[in-house]
Chain A
């Protein structure tokens, strides 16, 4: 008995050491535990649908950045690691707005927690700033509440220089967050380069967001990779309900590309620019917020005109399949009033 306890202690010690070397918290997926292992508080596990994630390390309570969207946080078992490299991918360069917006909203969440607000450094190659646009301080202030004085930009002509700047910046605790933005899948940004960034971020305790526009998922050291694209926004809320045809809050579709704990999943988040928090968009909400345009019913004729637009048969949430344009132009069949007979041809 004593032997097993000693052996278990040794295993735990080794596991902790491995975790220290790897620089990650020792976590693993586990089938729903019949009995919580001794020595662990019962609330250490976060329940997901079928799997329980049991955190075995001495994770400090603020090691994770909670996005505020509960399902995403639960899937990431508490949020994004704060002292780590986090990859945020965009499928195409034209997604740069959404990818940058998501990273900045995370930075805004970080800034909100800090009392002396430290600056954010955004490093990019000249190529990406030319292709995807230079960050615009007024827009960032309006949307994320980041003051122009809290922003620093670094534009490097070559990727090597950008990586050097990022490595130098990642080790500085005087920066709130470092955003490194590059385009494509350059060979130089390999496992070694990301490991250097990750190690420095861990030592400094600051997050490094690696934004990769139009890049492919490659093996890197980052513990979490998120794939972000823009989601159609909901309509603006007015007193009289949603305003048809308007463009509301920024929305992102976030899918987890890589994580040690999470299952692949897709989440639609909405950024609240007033409160500077994320809100999860529900499946039904999108439908309710995109009503068909209201058209006054015809008074003279017996049959009311069918509402313009379409009654959509929504695909399950998560697949962005849109309604085909032909279906949108014609009223769908069940909408025809039942007391009128089938229309004759000619």
Chain B
């Protein structure tokens, strides 16, 4: 028996068959129940764990249809439109679902109908029932109001006026019902009867393409999985070619025999459709996840789906039949690194228009947009342009300041400066990482003000005066003083920000 706390009282939230046999009911206080049967075993409810279990089951149900939605805390919607024939018809599919759940140790009730509302009612009140299209009304008429998925308040008020079954509500005139009990009652009714469409919003986006293989004998070895991936990718390649696309994100779903589902995703820098390359990517990913994937008793269903695809540029080979595409090599290399070590493993610097040194370069994960070579430029009519090529006229777009360190610390490291020769001058010596450095030569200062339009400090934020320093051993550093001497009560602080070659 499972209890939960509801309005300051411990109440029964769920109970098993033996407890039901003792005439205990859901919603009953624990104290009352204990008074009736002192020997009952009560467990505190754990909604989080219930949720995780339900999501695990929803994952498992992916084997029947990609459209799986959660329904409240204890139900699942499966949109099996167009999927039933894969399992030998509706009855066979329902039996398969029920028997597999039973063998996993779950007590499941299922209903199958043309509308979600009718299926819901059939599952919860009729039990293991297939409602043919058009029979929804016949199903609902004898059922209690709870089968209509309406709020308890509406149900209570309907019952107070004597409408106790769904059939009673159906025969009552619609306009007074809507006026008195709100639109939601009629909405639910119409949805259950198929007069209005109801969309089941799936948990996960549906992959545009997926291929799967049911295995008679479960597989356990990583090698077997990789071989299977290669087979599936070969099947996928034909579909991708027909659509003129390549995969940008791929997911591999491994359905374990006992119901657990592993989902492995890889991303690619450029559209991909070669089975060998796809297999390589999953090889790295599987190698990285080796500890995390528990094969258990093996996987009996493997599915490879394309989560997102992009247009695939065909590349023409040259006369010798070879395509020499270095970028493609690098893209594939980066994909493999990222598949194994995560997205941030390969970084690419991007210059940013900013005068703050640490903001002037951003490192972004390497991902290549599909590159097309720029179209040939039209000849310019300007006579000056023909005399002087454009490169000689236009200055380069960005002029880099020359004196920038080659390595920059991610966060400037504070240093101790005991004394400076002049208040605004460079330090005479400093202590960095507990070692003393004697300044032999110094250049500067270069004042860099904070970006007042971004920061919280506004215009009063302290400025930085940067110095190039060469110590007595010839090493060159980039230091700065934050703030000015005498400007405020707190003395300015010194930081080490980078090193020069």
Binding site for B on A (CB under 8 A): 94-98, 100-102, 104-105, 116, 118-119, 129-130, 132-144, 148-149, 151-157, 161, 164-165, 168-169, 172-175, 229-233, 245-247, 250-253, 271, 273, 320, 322
Contact = CB atoms under 8 A, between A and B. Distances in A.
B361 interface: yes
B411 to A, nearest CB: 10
B397 to A, nearest CB: 12
Contacts of A104: 406, 501
Contact of A151 (B327, B349, B468): B349
B346 A142 contact: no
Nearest to A245: B441
B501 A97 contact: yes
Given A138-B400, A230-B475, A133 B501 contact: no
A83 to B, nearest CB: 17
Contact of A154 (B327, B347, B351): B347
Contact of A142 (B349, B401, B408): B401
Contact of B406 (A118, A143, A153): A143
A184 B346 CA distance: 23
B346 A251 contact: no
A139 B326 contact: no
B66 interface: no
B473 A141 contact: no
A130 B349 contact: no
Interface of B: 326-327, 329-330, 333-334, 336-337, 340-341, 344-351, 357, 360-361, 363, 366, 400-410, 435, 440-443, 468, 470, 472-477, 498-501
B127 to A, nearest CB: 54
Give the top 10 A-B pairs by smallest Cβ distance, nearest first.
Answer: A101-B501, A97-B499, A133-B407, A137-B349, A139-B404, A174-B326, A232-B474, A174-B329, A250-B501, A136-B408
Q: Which of A116, A142, A157, A175 has the most CB of B within 10 A?
A: A142
B407 A143 contact: no
Contact of B470 (A132, A151, A172, A247): A247
Contacts of A142: 400-404
Nearest to B440: A232
Contacts of B336: 168
Contacts of B468: 247
Nearest to B360: A138
18 contacts: A94-B475, A97-B501, A129-B410, A134-B409, A138-B357, A140-B406, A148-B349, A155-B344, A168-B333, A173-B326, A174-B333, A230-B474, A230-B476, A246-B443, A247-B441, A247-B470, A250-B476, A251-B474
Nearest to B351: A148
Given A95-B475, A165-B341, A175-B330, A137 B499 contact: no
Contacts of B407: 96-97, 100, 132-136, 139
Contacts of A144: 406
A153 B350 CA distance: 12
A161 B340 CA distance: 9
Nearest to A94: B475
